[in-house]
């Protein structure tokens, strides 16, 4: 893509916007970053900034290329005003892709993306293929392209927001982990959300590879697929603590720190993706022996008086919550709740009935959840509290030796915290202060 003497406008001054602007500048364009915030900082020297941007600003602006940051909804009047006067509109992932020539393993799904992304990076680097994580997790795609020596491969976590604005984006390997409703505060229907995620397959050919959880409906695709599952017939399955391919054990998870069925599926998906790039099972097994799972995803904080305290703050939707519930092998006292996202918690009632002995809820949707959970109240009474600290102490009063207190909110944290990281850190601090 030749940007010499072209004018590029980047909408959004977050990390994606800042790095896209720097990349456009490097490629010879005149660049401006527009944002509705009061002031803009951290932009590369030589890039114009326009703060307090509005639809009217967009109507008065013209550019050859409009680059949209993923946090900005492309269906708003604000974006439409800019797009009407742009030669082309793409997102940051599409933009960076046009300047990258290495291998791309694109990882998407509602849950498990971050762990799988880290596993791919771990395995490929151990195998001698330089790889970095980027995209929806870690640095931006543009930052990787800006490196003096970009890595040979990228484990690119891609969200529905990023996939909305692709055109030519063509990874060699796509990992589709799972799908469940999420982000219903941005999408009008579940179908619209899924359609955005399915765009990851849009430019694949028979030369490419797909790794998919068995049972997932991804439609008819031209690329060859490999299936993974701990519960259904698949190419990769779990036999005791070992990952098996076509019934033959290839990778022993007992030698790793990966806990739970969900992490077994993440490991299967990561190995299947890396095997496309020539990595053997023995190399992958050695790589995984030193792997530490990411914080806030079924993280064992401590065991106190025989009770395990699990931090699963990264569970910001119902599928993640359901995965956490099914991955535990002990009776569960669940702590859930947070921001209203329009999710239907009745979907997990069967899982709650089978796994929990008590439920504690807090946050913006606490009362709504408590009402939804009424059908399981005889086996798992639900208590509404005001704060996370009160939730932990209430759960501790319910749990007995041999139980697990699982902090898996099932929704986002923005009603009380800056993000799931702060929420998880708060949970960890409270638990470590218990006596």
Selecting from 3.40.50.1580, 3.40.50.720, 3.40.50.2000, 3.40.50.970, what CATH number does the domain 7-92 have? 3.40.50.720
Residue 187's contacts (CB-CB under 8 Å, 6 or more residues apart) are 160, 193, 196
In CATH, the architecture of 299-433 is Alpha-Beta Complex (3.90)
pLDDT at 205: 97
Angle between helices 113-126 and 260-276 (to 10 degrees): 50
* Contact indicator for 186, 238 with CB cutoff of 8 Å: no
CB atoms within 10 A of CB 235: 18
Please tell me the CATH code under which domain 100-288 is placed. Answer: 3.40.1190.10
pLDDT at 44: 93
pLDDT in tens, the chain (435 residues): 899 999 999 999 999 999 999 999 999 999 999 999 999 999 999 999 999 999 999 999 999 999 999 989 888 999 999 999 999 999 999 999 999 999 999 999 877 888 899 999 999 999 999 999 999 888 999 999 999 999 999 999 999 999 999 999 999 999 999 887 666 677 888 898 899 999 999 999 999 999 999 999 999 999 999 999 998 899 999 998 899 999 899 999 888 878 778 889 999 999 999 999 999 999 999 999 878 777 888 888 999 999 999 999 999 989 889 988 988 879 999 999 999 988 899 999 999 999 999 999 999 999 999 999 999 999 999 999 999 999 999 999 999 999 999 999 999 998 899 999 999 999 999 999 998
| R_g of the chain, CA atoms, integer Å | 23
pTM given for the model? 0.77
pLDDT at 250: 92
pLDDT at 184: 63
Q: Could you state, in order of their start, the residue ranges of all structural domains in the chain?
A: 7-92, 100-288, 299-433
The closest alpha carbon to 213, from 132, 325, 114, 116, belongs to 116
Bridge partners (DSSP) of residue 321 are none
């Amino acid at each position: 893509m030749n940007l010499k003497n072209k004018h590029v406008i980047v909408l959004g001054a977050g990390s994606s916007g800042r790095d896209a602007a720097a990349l456009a500048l490097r490629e010879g364009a005149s660049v401006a970053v527009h944002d509705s915030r009061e002031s803009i900082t951290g932009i590369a020297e030589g890039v114009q900034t326009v703060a307090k941007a509005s639809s009217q600003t967009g109507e008065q602006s013209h550019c050859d290329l409009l680059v949209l940051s993923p946090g900005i909804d492309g269906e708003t009047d604000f974006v439409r005003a800019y797009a009407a006067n742009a030669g082309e509109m793409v997102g940051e992932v599409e933009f960076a892709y046009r300047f990258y020539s290495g291998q791309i393993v694109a990882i998407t799904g509602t849950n498990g993306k971050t762990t799988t992304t880290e596993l791919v990076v771990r395995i490929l680097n151990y195998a001698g293929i330089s790889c970095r994580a980027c995209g929806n997790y870690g640095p931006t795609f543009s930052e990787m392209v800006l490196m003096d020596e970009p890595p040979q491969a990228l484990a690119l976590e891609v969200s529905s927001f990023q996939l909305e604005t692709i055109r030519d984006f063509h990874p060699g390997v796509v990992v589709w982990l799972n799908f469940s409703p999420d982000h219903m505060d941005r999408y009008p229907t579940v179908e619209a959300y899924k359609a955005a995620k399915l765009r990851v397959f849009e430019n694949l050919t028979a030369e490419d590879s797909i790794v998919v959880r068995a049972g997932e409906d991804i439609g008819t695709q031209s690329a060859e697929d490999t299936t993974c599952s701990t519960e259904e017939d698949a190419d990769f399955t779990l036999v005791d603590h070992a990952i098996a391919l076509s019934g033959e054990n290839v990778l022993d998870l007992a030698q790793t720190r990966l806990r739970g069925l969900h992490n077994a599926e993440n490991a299967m998906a990561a190995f299947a993706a890396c095997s496309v790039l020539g990595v053997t099972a023995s190399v992958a097994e050695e790589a995984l022996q030193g792997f530490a799972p990411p914080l806030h995803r079924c993280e064992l904080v401590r065991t106190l008086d025989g009770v395990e305290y699990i931090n699963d703050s990264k569970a910001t939707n119902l599928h993640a919550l359901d995965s956490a519930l099914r991955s535990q092998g002990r009776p569960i006292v669940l702590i859930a709740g947070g921001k209203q996202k329009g999710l239907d918690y009745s979907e997990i009632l069967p899982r709650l009935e089978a796994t929990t002995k008590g439920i504690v809820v807090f946050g913006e949707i606490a009362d709504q959840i408590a009402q939804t959970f009424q059908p399981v109240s005889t086996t798992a009474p639900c208590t509404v509290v005001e704060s996370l600290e009160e939730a932990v102490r209430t759960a501790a009063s319910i749990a007995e030796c041999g139980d697990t207190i699982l902090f898996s909110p099932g929704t986002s944290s923005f009603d009380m915290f800056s993000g799931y990281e702060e929420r998880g850190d708060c949970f960890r601090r409270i638990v470590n202060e218990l006596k």
